[in-house]
Structure 1
Amino acid sequence: MQNNKNLVSMNEIAQLNPKHIEKIIQFHAKQLSDFLQNIAPNGETKPRTKAICEKLESSSAKEILQHKLIVEKKHNYIKQDLKLNESMQQEIAYKCEQIQQLGILYTMCVESALLSHLYMFLEIYIQAIREIESKHNILSFQSIAHKVFAIATDTLMIDGDFQSDYFFFRLDSCISHILFDEYQDTSIMQYRIFEPLFNEILAGSGTKDSKSLFFVGDSKQSLYAFRGANISVFEKTKRLDSMQQESLSHNYRSKKAIIDFVNDKFANLYKEEYIKQLYSEHSQDISGVVNVKLYEDTGDKEINKNAVFTDTLTQLNRLIESNVPKKEIVILARKRDTLHEFNLFLKENDSTIKLNLDKSGKLINQPSIQAIFYVFKTQEYRDEIKLIESRLGMLQDSTQQVTIQQDFSPQDSKPKDSTESLQEKLRKAKNNYKFAQKKLNKLLGKSYFDNQYIAIPQQTSTYYSLAKSIKSVMESLRFYNDDCMELLEIASENIDIKNIDSLFEFIENRESVIMQEEAIHAMSVHGSKGLGFEYVIYLDYEAQKQNNNEKILYSYNDIFLDSIRIDTTTKAMNIYRDKTLQDLADKKERENLQQEYNNLYVACTRAKIGLYIFANKESSIATHLALKDNENYGEEIQTKRDSKQTQNNLTIISKLQAKNTTQEEFLQEKQDSFYQHNISMQHKQILGLSLHYSLELMLGFGIKNPYAMLNFLYGFYLDESMIVEILQKANNIFKSSLEKLLYMDKNTIKCELSFLQENSIKRLDALIQNGEEFFVIEFKSSQNISEALLQEHTAQLQSYMESIATISQKKSQIKGYLVYLQDNVAVKEITL
C-alpha cells in the first residue's frame, strides 16, 4: 500500500472503537428526537411524529442509520405535523448530516476491524497451507505461482543474498521468443512475473540478435476477473514501447447471419472499441441463421422455465431430425444450475436425448463400463463369501481353533475372529454381493431377481493381467463399444494396476468416448470459451438481477496494489461509503457490467451456422442486447447430411488379427489401435516378430527382462508359456559364441537400424561398433535351414555389410553373423 495519506487515515480510524461510535450515533439521534419534540406546535407532538422520535431513541446505531429521516434528511410526516419553516428544515437536515458523517466514520471503523481480523486469519491460513505442503511434499499450482512471484519481486531476498535481477539475467539468456495466448485473462501477478523478461526483450529490439514477444488476446473475451484476470494488464501491454498491434478483421468461424447479428448488437455495447467483423469467403457460402424467442416474465420461476425449456426441446428435435451431428450442438447458459434443470426436464419429457454437461460425461459413469465393474465386484464378493464360509466351517471344529486364529491378518480389529465376528463379516459380504448383483441386473436390463453369474476365467499365470480379465468380461457381455475398447486399452497400457478398483480410480477423470460423440454438449459460457459449434442454443429463463456482491475491493496504482477495502454497507446504507470506497464500488460495478457484456459476446460467437436464443424478456441478454421477440437473421438451413448411420462391424476381440507382415516390411502406417487390424496373422509370424522385439529391447535398450512389454504387445495372442519360451531363446544369445562380443568394453549396440541402399530403405537387426570394428548381426527364427535358404540369408547379410563398409570406409574391419534362434543358438560368421 503506497498511499500514505489513506494509510494514516485508516490507522487513525483503527484506534477508534465501533462500539463508541455507536453510542455517539445514538446520542445524536436522541438530540434530534428532542429537537423535533421541542419545536412541536403548542408542545404537542402528533402520533406519527412521536412514533418517529421513539424509533430514533430506542433503535440501534444500524437501525438509526437506515431510518428514512436520516437517509433523506427530511420526512413528509414531520413536515406536515410540525409545520416546519425554512430554518427548522435546515436545522433538521444539519443534524441528519451529522449522523450521516458519523455513519461514514462508523462503517470505516467496522471495516478496519474486519481487515484486522482478515489479515490475522490470512496468516493462519498461509501457515496451515505451508504445513500441509511440507507434510505431503507437494505444491499446488497456485503455491508455485506465489513462490515464483516471490522470486521475481525480490520478496525472498534475505540479508541481500538474493537478487531477482541476476535470476532474470540467467533466465533471459535461455529465452528468445515468448508467445502468450488468451492474454486478456492474465492476472497482475502473472504480468509482474514476466515483466522483467518483457523489458529485456524490448530493450534489445532491433539488434542483430533480436528476440520477440507475441501476444494473442481479445479484451471482449475476458471472463475470468473472478480468478484474478485484470484487463488493465492487456491495455498496459499494448502501450509498451516497440509493440505493434494488428487486429483480425475477418471472422473465419461464423456464417454471415451470425456475423451480422454480432456486429449489430455488440457495436452499441463496446462503442468505439468495437471493430466490425468482416465476412470471409467461407462465411458467405451459406447465410446461417439467428432466431430469438423471448418470453414474458410471469414472476413464477416454474412457468418461465417450462416455457423456455419446451421450445428449446422442440428446436433440438428439429436439428436432430435434420441430421445435425449431436456433437455439433451445444446448449449454453450463464449458470450450470440452468443446465441441470434442463437435463431433468429432458429426462421427464424426452429421455432419448442425452446431455454431456460441461464435458462431464465421465468414462466410469457409462452403463457398459459400470456393468463391467459390477461383474468384477460380484466375483470379488462371491470369493469373499466362500472364504468366510470356509473359515466358519473350520472354526466350528474346535481342534483347528488355533490354526484359524493364526491364519487371520494382524490388521483385523480383533486379535482373533470369533464365530460372531465371522458371521457379521459374512452378513456384510452377502449384502454387498446382493447389491452388486442387483445393480448389474439393472445395468444389463435383466430382472431384479435374476441371479445369473458371469464368471471371470481364473488366470493361473504368475503374471496376472487385468486387461485379459476385462477382455473376457467384454466378450461374455458382447460389449464392443468405443468406451469398452478405451477401458481395455487403458488396462493394457497400465499393467501395474492389478484390480478393478484401482483401475477405476486411475480413470476417474477420463472422458467417455461415446458421450463426446453421441451426446449434446451443455456447458456454461465460461466452459465454452475457445470452442466452436455448428449450432448454439442459449438459455436464460430468469429476469436480470443486480449482483454486486463483491465486498473486498482493490485499488491499484498502475500494476501495484495500493489499498484493500472492505465494503460493509448494504444497498440501504450506500450513503455511508466514504468517497474512496464509493469510487472503488463504482469502478467494480463498471467492471462487472463489462464482464457481463463479455459473457454474452463469447456465448454468441461460439456459433458457426446457427444461433438460437430462448430467454426471458427481462433477462440479461434480452435487455443488454435490446433483443426483440421473433427477431431473425438469415434463413433456416436444410441440412443435406447423409442420414445413414455408419454401423460398426462388431468382432470378438480374440478373433482380431494383427496386420500380416514380415520383418523386412517394417515401414507401416501407424494405426490408432493395435486391435483394429483385421487381416490374418500367422502364428509363426507372431512368434518371429515377438522374438525380434525381445532382442531389440534386450540388446538395444539394455532391458534384462522385457516380459511386461512383450506381454503388453503380444499378450492377447501368446500365452505365458510361449512368452517365457521366447525370452529364454532371446537370452540364449548371451550364452552363445557371441557372448564375448556382446560384453566387450566400449561397445555401442544399435538395434533395428534403418539405412538407404540402392534407393530402398533397409533395416539391420543389430549393429555393434567397438572402436574401429563393426559387427553386423542378422537374427533368423527359421527352424528348418536348407542350403538354399542359407545362401539367401548369406547374400542378404553380405549386402548389408557392403553398405556399412561404404558408409564407414573400413571394409576390412567389418564382420557379419547369421544367428539362428533355435533351442540352441546357431551362429555362422560371414565375411565379405
Structure 2
Amino acid sequence: MKAKVVEQFLALKASAGSGKTFALSLRFVYLLFCGANPHQILTLTFTKKASDEMYHRIHQHLKILKDSLKNGDYAQTIIYQELIKEGLTHQDIEDHMSNIYEEFAQSKPRIMTIDAFFHSVLKKFCWYAGVSYRFEVGNAPINEINDEFLSQLNQQSSQQIARFCFSHNISLNQFLTMLMNLDKAYEEIDKSQQNVFLASSHDIAQEIIQKMQVMASWIRSVPNATPRVVKHFQKTSLAEIMKSPRFLLEWQEHTWLKKIDLSPMDNVRQEILNLLKDYFISKESEVLQWLQSYVQIYKNTRDFYLRKANLLTFDDVTLKSYELLYHQIDRDFFYFRLDDKITHILLDEFQDTSVMQYQILKPLMDEICAGNGRLSERSLFVVGDEKQSIYMFRGSFASVFEEASKRLQKSHLIYNYRSSPLVIAFNNTTFAPCYEGFVPSKYPKESASSEGYVKVQNCGEYPLEAAVYEELNTLLESGVSEDDIAILVFKNDDIQLLKEFINTKNPSIQLATEMSSSLFSKQEVKILLNALLFIQNRDSAFYLKNLLKLLGKAYNDDFSPQSALYTLKATRKPSELLLTLIEEFNIANNVSLKFLELSCDFLSIDEFLESLPVMMCSAPAQSNRGVKIMTIHKSKGLEFSYVILVDRFSGSQSDRQKFLYKYQEVSLHQIYYKMQGREDFDEEYKNVFEEEKKRKQQEELNVLYVAFTRAKEGLIVLQKNEKSAYERLSLKPTLQGVITPISKDSMIELESHSMPQVVEMSYHGKQSEFIRNEQETTSILNAAQWNNIKFGEALHSVFEMKLAYNMSDDDVHTRLLNRYGFYCNSSALSDALSKANACLQSEEFKQISRDKEILCEVSFIHQDKLYRMDTLLYNDKERIVLDYKSSLQGHENHQTQVQGYMQFLSSLDKGNPKADVKCRGYVVYPLYQRSFYEIFMF
C-alpha cells in the first residue's frame, strides 16, 4: 500500500471532551493501513490507564472494522467513515483488513507511558549510565538516605542547616527535598551560563550602610527636612532599609520628600540602588554555593543507597536517561540505537511534559520531522491542551506543547462529545475571556444528549458542606443515581470532611472516596505494621502502646494472653501472620487485604519490613460504587454525569518554594534564590518573578477549567462570597435547564450487578511445591567463581542472540556490556563473542544446522523437574540438541545431561510407529580448539 499520511506532522489541540483518544487511535489505525508495522509506531501516554485504554480502543476499532466488512454493514461504523474521510478507499481497507488485524493481535505495539519508555531506554544503555541491567523501579528509602546524610555532617554544618530551616520556615524534610530538586535542576541548567563574581554580601551591606550615613548626614543639613524625614534616613542596618524601602524607590515622588530638592543626593541614591542589586546577587551566589556542597553529599549518599538496593525511582530513570544523552554518550549514537525501527511517533497529553522529558524526546522528534533515515514515510502526531496543564508541582511545563508545535501543522478538535449543550455553552461563556485565542467548543448535532443542567450558587454565610449535602439530596430526589454523581474538591483534606458530614446526615448514601494517599498512611496498615513489629520484638512496649492507641483502647489496656499478638510465632510467614491479625482485629477491607497481598511474596517478617520503604503502592478506593468524592487533580481524564464543584474550604496553600527558575524558551537557564523585596531592585529578577507568578495563576485557571469540564449532563458550582477560588471567573448565580436522571434501564442493569459474587477457589498447589530446577546449588561462591559463572552466562547469551535473533556483533556486544559489564570486563566479553562466532562459522556447525529450524532456550518439565535445552535444531528427520559449556571440568556430567535431553526428545515419538526421527546431541566447548563433542545414547 502506498497511502500517504495526511498532515504528516500534526499538533492537535484537543479541548476537554473533544475525543482526543479517538483521534489518537484513529491515527494509529490509519498508519497501519498506510503500511506501518505496529512495532514501528511509538505511542506515549502519561498514565498506565491511558496506555491500556489506547491499546484496547485500537484493538476494538480493528475488530469492529473486520466484523463489519464481513457482515456487510461497514458503512454504518464510525471508524470506517473516518478512514474514508482520511483518504483511504474501500478497496484499501478490504484488501488489507485481515492481515492488519492479525499482525496487530500478534505483535507487541509500543503503546506505553513516557516513564516506561525511558525505562526501556535506560535498560538498553544501562552500562553507559553505571546502572545494573536488573535494576528495579520503586520508592527510594528516604528515611535511611536522610539518616545517613545527616550522620555525615559535623556540628557546625548541622547548626548551619538548622538556622537555614528556621529562617526560611521549612522543615528538615523539606530542606532535604530541596537538595534533591536542586540536584535535578543543576543537571538541566544551561552550562554556558557564566558566574558573576562580586564582593561578599557582608562587604556590600557595609558599603550600603556607609552610603546611607552620607545621605542621612546630608538630610540633617536640609532646613526644611522634618524630624520624621530625618529619622527615615537614619538606617543602621540592611534589615531596616528593606523594612521600608519606598523612600529610596519613589525618591522625589515620595509624599514626605516632594518639598525637598534631592538632586544633590541623586548619584548616592543610584549607587545605593545598584549596591542593593549587587547585594542580592552576591547573597544568592553564596547561598547556592553553600547548598551545592550539601547537594553533592546528598546525591552521593542517595546514589549509594540506590545502587545498594539496585533501585531507581521514576524521576531517577528520567534523570539517568537525560544524563546519558547530555553527558555520557554520543548523541548521534544514542538516537541511532534508540531509533531502531521507530518511524511514527504519537504523543498524548503533551502539555503535561516536563522540560527534561521534552529535552530527551526532542532530538527523536526532530529526526522524524527531518525525514532522514532508513524509511521515508515518517510522521509525528502530538496531542495536547494547554488549558489542561495542571501538574506544575510535578515538573510539567505547558510551554513545551507550544514549542513542539512550532514546526508542525496545527489543528483543533472543535466538537465536545462529552457535555450537554447547556454545560458546553456555560463553559464557553465562562472561559472565553480568560484564554487568549480561546476556541469555543461546539455541540455535535448527532449526539443524543439531553439539554443539560447548570447551577451556580453563592453560599453566603451558609456552610459549604451543608450546601453540598442539599445539592446532593436534590439530585438523588430527582432520580439521579448515586453512581452518576461526583463531588470535586480542591484538597485531600476536604474529602474526609465532606465524607464525615454526609455520613452523619445520611449514612445510607454510599460514598466512594478517591484520595491521593499512600497505602502505608492508612489506619489499617498502621495497625498491622505495629502488630508485626510487636510480634517481632515482644520486649518493646512501644509498638504495643502504638497499637492500643490505633485501636482506640486506653493506654493501660492490654490484650488477652490468648491473643494472636502473644501466641503467633515470629518465624511464620508474614502473610499468615497478617491474615490472623486481620481476622482478630476485624479490619478486613480492601486496604488491609491489599497489604496482605503485598506480603505474600515474602518468607520472613524481616524481609517484608525491609522492603516496605521502597514499595510504591497507593491506597485502593474504598468502592467504585456510589457518589464519588475526589480532588480536581484526581478527576482529570474522567467524566461524570453530574458534578458538584465545591469552593475552597480554606485558603490556598502558601508558596514555600525558595527558588525561581528562569527559562529561555523551554530550556532552564538560571536559578534564582528568592529574597523578599529583591524584585524592587533587580529588574531581571523581577521579570522572572512575574513570569513565575503568571505561570502559577495560569495553572490555577487551568485547574478550574478541568473541574468545569468533567460534567456530562449537569454542573453545580458552589462558591463563597469572599476569597472564592472562582473570583477571576466573575460567576453570577444562575439556574439553567432541568435535572434529568439517566435512563432507568441502565440503573436497573447497574443494580443487578451491585453485589459481588463470592467464589471459593480450590487449592491445586503451585509449581514451586513440586517442580525442581535441573541444577540447584547452595554452595557459597568466591568472587572468581562468580565471575566465571557470569562469563558462562554471557557465552550462552551470545549463542541465543545470534541464533534466535540474528543480531549483529555490535548489538550483541552492547547488550553483553549492559547485562554483564559489572562482572566481566569488555575484553572478556569480546572474547566470548569471538569464540561463539568461531563455533557458528565452523564447518561442523554448518553441517549439523543445514536445512533445520533453530530454537533457543527450550524449556520442558519431566518427572517434576524443570529442564532447559540451550539450542534445538530440527526438521522432519532429525532433532539435534546443543549444550554450551565454558569449561571441560565435569565433562561426564555434561554428557549425562545431554543424554537426558536426547532421551526426552526420543520419548516424544512413542506411540507413533510411523515416526522415524533420529535424535542426536552435542556438548559444545567454544573456548577450546575442539569445540563439538557428539554424545551418544546410553
- Compute the TM-score of the two structures, normalised by the length of structure 1: 0.60
Q: Distance in 2 between matches of 1:359 and 1:334?
A: 12
Which whole-Å CA distance do the structure 1 matches of 2:882 and 2:330 have between them?
46
1:357-406 deviation per Cα after TM superposition (whole angstroms, max 9, x unaligned): 52438498476x8888899899x59xx98xxxxxxxxxxxxxxxxxxxxx
Q: 59, 63, 75: which is aligned to 2:240?
A: 63
Equivalent residue letter for 1:147:
K
Among candidates 676, 679, 682, match of residue 577 of structure 1: 682
Among residues 63, 72, 84, which one is paired with 2:250 in the alignment? 72
* Distance apart, 1:531 and its partner CA: 2.9
Counterparts in 2 of 1:335-350, with a 5 A limit?
A: 335-339=491-495, 341-342=497-498, 345=501
1:106 to 263, 276, 292: 276
For residue 895 of structure 2, what is the aligned residue in structure 1? none
Please state how far the C-alpha of 1:595 moved relative to its aligned partner.
1.5
| 2:145 aligned with 1:145 | no
- Matched-pair contact (CA < 8 Å) for 2:774–2:866: no
Alpha-carbon distance change, 76 to 733 in structure 1, aligned in 2, over 3 angstroms: closer
Secondary structure, aligned partner of 1:253: coil
**Which of 278, 285, 288 pairs up with 1:115?**
285
Counterpart residue identity of residue 199, structure 1: D
1:249 matched to 2:352: no
Instruction: Confirm or deny that 1:164 pairs with 2:331.
Output: yes
Structure 2: runs of 5+ lacking an equivalent = 1-188, 778-861, 868-877, 884-899, 920-938
Q: Deviations over 1:700-754 (max 9, x none)?
A: x86999xxxxxxxxxxxxxxxxxxxxxxx956999xxxxxxxxx995699xxxxx
Secondary structure of residue in 1 paired with 2:381: strand
* Partner Cα distance (1:546, 1:93) in 2: 45
Which residue in the other structure is 1:18 paired with?
A: 204
Residues 180 and 703 (structure 1 numbering): CA distance in 2 closer, same or farther, change over 3 Å?
farther
Count of residues paired in the alignment = 611
Q: CA deviation at 1:264?
A: 1.3
Q: Is the 8 A contact 1:362 1:508 kept in 2?
A: no
Say if 2:515 is the partner of 1:358: yes
The equivalent of 1:634 in structure 2 is 737
Amino acid at match of 1:202: C
Which of the residues 199, 204, 211 maps onto 2:378? 211
Equivalence for 2:403: 236
> Judging changes above 3 Å, is the alpha-carbon distance between structure 1 residues 232 and 78 closer, same or farther for their aligned structure 2 residues?
closer
What is the deviation of 1:200? Answer: 1.8
SS in 2 for 1:270: coil
Distance 1:123 1:515 in 2: 45
1:465–1:495 CA contact under 8 A, matched in 2: yes
User: How far apart are residue 134 of structure 1 and its match?
Assistant: 2.2
Match of 2:348 among 181, 205, 211: 181
Measure how far apart 1:203 and its partner are.
Answer: 1.7
What is the TM-score normalised by the length of structure 2? 0.54
User: What is the identity, as a one-letter code, of the residue corresponding to 2:360?
Assistant: I
In structure 1, the partner of 2:230 is 53
How many angstroms apart in 1 are the aligned matches of 2:651 and 2:263? 36
- Displacement, 1:30? 0.9
Instruction: Tell me by how many angstroms 1:508 deviates.
Output: 7.6
Indicate yes or no: 2:606 matched with 1:606. no
Q: 1:481 to 1:32 in 2, by over 3 A?
A: same
Alignment pair present for 1:29 and 2:215: yes
Equivalent position amino acid for 1:309 in 2: E
Quote the offset at 1:217 in angstroms: 1.4
Question: Any residues of structure 2 matched to 1:670-685 within 5 Å, and which?
Answer: none
Which residues of 2 match residues 464-475 of structure 1 at below 5 A?
Answer: none
Gap change, CA 1:490 and 1:166, over 3 Å in 2: closer
SS at 2:638 equivalent: coil
Other-structure match for 2:367:
200
Mapped contact 2:660–2:671 kept (Cα < 8 A):
yes
SS in 1 for 2:714: strand
1:188–1:229 CA contact under 8 A, matched in 2: yes
Instruction: Say if 1:476 and 1:585 are closer, same or farther in 2 by CA, change over 3 A.
Output: closer
CA contact (8 A) 2:247 2:254 kept: no
Higher mean C-alpha displacement, 132-141 vs 210-219? 132-141
Q: Distance in 2 between matches of 1:494 and 1:324?
A: 44
Q: Which runs of 5+ in 1 are unaligned?
A: 157-161, 297-303, 386-424, 659-674, 676-685, 706-728, 735-743, 750-767, 778-796, 803-809, 816-832
- Aligned ranges for residues 510-525 of structure 1 at < 5 Å? 510=617, 515-517=622-624, 521-525=628-632
Give the conservation status (yes or no) of the 8 Å contact 1:552–1:566. yes
TM superposition shift of 1:122: 1.9
Q: Hey, what's the Cα distance between the residues in 1 that align with 2:662 and 2:580? A: 64
- Contact 2:771–2:866 (CA<8 Å) still a contact in 1? no
Alpha-carbon distance in 2 for matches of 1:510, 1:327: 26
Distance in 2, matches of 1:581 and 1:438, equals 51
After superposition, the Cα gap between the structure-2 partners of 1:133 and 1:12, relative to the gap in structure 1 and judged at 3 Å, is closer
Distance in 2 of aligned mates of 1:205 and 1:53? 73
Alpha-carbon spacing, 1:126–1:536, altered in 2? closer, same or farther (3 Å): farther
1:589 to 2:698 alignment: no
Q: Distance in 1 between matches of 2:392 and 2:423?
A: 27
2:298 to 83, 104, 128: 128
Cα distance in 1 for residues equivalent to 2:904 and 2:624: 58
- CA–CA separation in structure 2 for the residues paired with 1:507 and 1:545: 31
Question: What is the distance in 1 between the residues matched to 2:655 and 2:602?
Answer: 53
SS at match of 2:433: helix
CA–CA separation in structure 2 for the residues paired with 1:196 and 1:483: 44
Distance change (3 Å), C-alpha of 1:97 and 1:253: farther
Q: Distance in 1 between matches of 2:254 and 2:499?
A: 53
* Aligned-residue CA RMSD (Å): 5.3
Q: Is the 8 A contact 2:205 2:238 kept in 1?
A: no
Find the partner of 2:487 among 325, 328, 331: 331
Tell me what 2:467 maps to. 311
After the TM superposition, which residues 540-559 of structure 1 pair with which residues of structure 2 at under 5 Å, given as runs? 540-541=647-648, 552-559=659-666
